[in-house]
Amino acid sequence: MRVLTTFAAVREAREGSVGLVPTMGYLHEGHLSLIEKASARCDTVVVSVFVNPLQFGDASDLDAYPADLPRDIELATQAGADIIFAPDIREMYPAGPAVGVTVSDVGDAMEGTFRPGHFDGVATVVAKLFAGIGPDAAFFGRKDAQQLALVTTMAHGLGMPVDVVGCPIVREEDGLALSSRNTRLTDGARSEAVRLSAALFAASDLFLAGERHARTLRTLVEESLAVTPSIDLEYAEVADVDSACVIDEVVDVAFLALAATVGGVRLIDNVLLDGRDGSVDTGMRIDTQSVLYGGDTCC
């Protein structure tokens, strides 16, 4: 395992095929599942750890973002990473004219509406990582379904020779999607946060029973969360998995996504709905045998 801070050093150290796992650090089982997938497929696994200021609209959110690089190094190594790339702000954004990437349409709805400028920041940092490291494949979680659609669209649109791989959502045993932000939940908020995934699972059950109208699925989520005062739902939407365009009816593959603050902490989650065969994918649960606790992960 090597910890490197410049793009040039990563390019020099890489051998064979390269799998990149971009992260903002404070790793959890969701990140580790991506590293394991990359490790199974690529010769060199690079995990980037960079809290990207460009994608935070709210300075207090950026300041509150948790960080623990020594812990990240240990966990990433156990999961199969070969290189941790931890650049400073100047390596990522050298002084001089700002150069950015904007992907139209895909980032407009949902997160784009509630976090203006967020996806320009995401597209820019991911484009820089792709250009500076040159991975053969890059691994992203379906937890950020709109981000995955955006990155895939960007790579295709800019002709980047990288395979963008979407990986399942990893959840706590009770269903809450893992997130670095979960550490900021108070005990009370943590016990209420499980209602987010429960609402999505209830909507998936409705989908499994044959419901295809986005409005009905959304309403179920909205109504089941409205009864909890500490949960403030920003949106519940059904969107096409590739374009992230909001849709009215599930015909092909779509995701039902939500964003909400729980006790002031902003969380997102989604479930995948396949209108072609009527199946759903809600992700996977961790168990106590996982890497974080000393065994193999579930993925």
The residues binding ligand AMP (CB under 6 A) are 23-24, 30-31, 33-34, 140-141, 143-144, 167, 169-170, 177-180
How many residues in total does the chain contain?
299
Question: In the chain, how long is the greatest CA-to-CA distance?
Answer: 56
Cα(227)–Cα(230) distance, integer angstroms = 9
User: Cβ closer to ligand AMP: 140 or 207?
Assistant: 140
CB of 210 to ligand AMP, least distance (A): 28
Q: Please, are residues 111 and 259 in contact by the beta-carbon 8 Å criterion?
A: yes
> Edge-to-edge strands of the sheet including 265-274?
231-240, 253-262, 265-274, 279-281
CB of 197 to ligand AMP, least distance (A): 11
Find tokens 């002709």 and name the residue. Answer: 159
For 284, the token pair is 């996977």
Cα(252)–Cα(256) distance, integer angstroms = 13
CB of 28 to ligand AMP, least distance (A): 7
Closest C-alpha to 7, from 67, 83, 69: 83
Find tokens 């995401």 and name the residue. Answer: 122
Q: Closest residue to ligand AMP, Cβ-based? A: 141
- The catalytically annotated residue of 31, 118, 156, 213 is 31
CB of 45 to ligand AMP, least distance (A): 14
CB of 282 to ligand AMP, least distance (A): 12
User: Cβ closer to ligand AMP: 44 or 182?
Assistant: 182
User: Cβ closer to ligand AMP: 7 or 140?
Assistant: 140
156 carries an active-site annotation: no
**Which residues, including other chains, have CB under 8 Å from residue 218's CB and lie 6 or more apart?**
203, 236, 237, 238, 256
User: Cβ closer to ligand AMP: 169 or 203?
Assistant: 169
Find tokens 């649960």 and name the residue. Answer: 285
For 17, the token pair is 């095929």
> Catalytic residues, which ones?
31
